[in-house]
Amino acid sequence: MKARLFYVFLALFTSLTTLSLAQTDSSSLKTPTTKKNFQFIAFPVIGVSPVTKFEFGAGAILSYHLGDKTITRPSYVYSYNSYTVNKQTMINLLNNLYTEGNKWHIYANFSFIDYPVYFYGAGALPDGEFPKINSNRKNLLAFVERKVTKNLFTGIGSMYQSARFTDLSSTKPLENSTLEGKHGGNDIFLGGVVTYDTRDYENQTHKGYFLRIINVHTIGSGKYSTNQFTFDGRIFRPVTKNQFIGFQGYFSSVQGNTIPFYSLAQLGSANLMRGYYNGRYLGQNYSVLQSEYRYTPFLDRKDTGLFSLSRITLAGFAGMGNVFMNQQFEWKDVKPTYGFGARYMFNPKARMCLRVDFAWGNKPNGMARESGTYFAFNEAF
């Protein structure tokens, strides 16, 4: 993928700040005795892309517990923000909160981008010659779940999306296209969410099952009336005491009489179908099967603090998926994804980590193989 975006977490470890209410001596990774009610990490971000040029910014992660750590999952707030020399902006805010005993789960993810992107709706042009449009998008996904039984949660989900697009090319490919919703729009969704979760940990899971279904429908007097459905199923199993494997099946679908193109699923991200430029392929339906093997080579070593080898995990992954319109699924269009990466746990007790992945995908005729490099917070799944 020509438009790779490289994020460099410079001086990550030197910028680490830990806020702790109670501490004892360090122990092994498997049973760390350091008790931290709060942990805060701030890091600078530098990026270079053919689309956005030079960019810079800052990110931060605050992790904490709202109850007994043995029964309450860790909560965290994640912020990632960048600005480019061309006055373009990206903001990402994520809140994942569990109350004591996991009685309530509150999740909210807000993103804002004001960036140029490649416009693939203009036709099949040679790689690197796709025209650019400016994409101004705001997205919010939020839900509140109540624990019904030990592993079952149910609640209310909502979503908001706002999009505005403008041509950056004198040929005006967007204006001249026949795409529905080519100028953008605003939509509010409301619906329900059901989750079944037996994972030992939410991140870097070693064993357990996870199943989440979200179904939301537009409300209000917006121009479009659509329904969005998402299924996310995962299985994790230990192979040996320091080797683990996970599988994920993902499916999403947007349905309605008229669907704006900005509501269509976009294949490719740091979590699903790694290796593809996000937005290169669009469709009503999005299906993915992927697996990931994780190996912690120094698991038995004593955890001596921030620079411990015991906190390193290596990973290899592979999968396949596609986006497609209703009744237009073709096996020949299914695309591969594969790659490898590494993770470093900055919070072993909660298994929170920073990761880097190198991924490859399809090789279109006459074009370079699609690929991507990703720096991200926590595991892909």
Domain containing 306 — which CATH number?
2.40.160.50
| Cα distance between residue 58 and residue 79, in whole Å | 8
In angstroms, the first-to-last Cα distance of the chain is 23
pLDDT tens sequence across 282-297 = 999 999 999 999 999 9
Check residue 259 and give its pLDDT.
93
Residue 73 within any structural domain of the chain: yes
Over its C-alpha atoms, the chain yields an Rg (Å, rounded) of 21
Please give the torsion angle defined by the CA atoms of residues 198, 201, 204 and 209, in that order, rounded to the nearest 10 degrees.
Answer: 0
Q: Parallel, antiparallel, or unpaired: how do β-strands 132-147 and 243-256 relate?
A: unpaired
Dihedral of CA atoms 192, 198, 201, 203 in degrees, nearest 10, equals: -50
CA distances from 188 to 223, 264, 269 (A): 11, 15, 23
Position 248 in a domain: yes
Secondary-structure breakdown of the chain: helix, strand, coil percentages, each rounded to the nearest 5: 5, 55, 40
Cα–Cα distance for residue pair 48/54, rounded to 1 Å? 5
d(CA 250, CA 267) in angstroms, rounded, equals 12
The string of pLDDT tens digits covering residues 90-118 is 999 999 999 999 999 999 999 999 988 88
pTM comes to 0.86
Q: What is the token pair recorded at 208?
A: 């357990």
State the total domains in the chain. 1
Tokens of 31: 């049973």
Higher pLDDT, 294 or 354: 294
Q: Please identify which residue in the block is written with the tokens 């020509």.
A: 2
Q: Please give the average per-residue pLDDT across 331-341, as a whole number.
A: 95
164 domain-assigned: yes
pLDDT tens per residue across span 216-255? 999 976 789 999 999 999 999 999 999 999 999 999 999 9
Label residue 72 exposed, middle or buried (CB < 10 Å: 0-12, 13-18, 19+).
middle
Return the amino acid letter for 234. R
Asked if 173 and 167 count as a contact pair (C-beta separation under 8 A), the reply is yes
252 assigned to some structural domain: yes
Instruction: Flag whether 1 is in a domain.
Output: no
Mean pLDDT check: name the lowest of 101-115, 122-136, 260-274: 122-136
Note down the domain range covering 189. Answer: 6-377
Q: What is the DSSP string of 191-220?
A: EEEEEEE--S-SSS--SEEEEEEEEEEEES
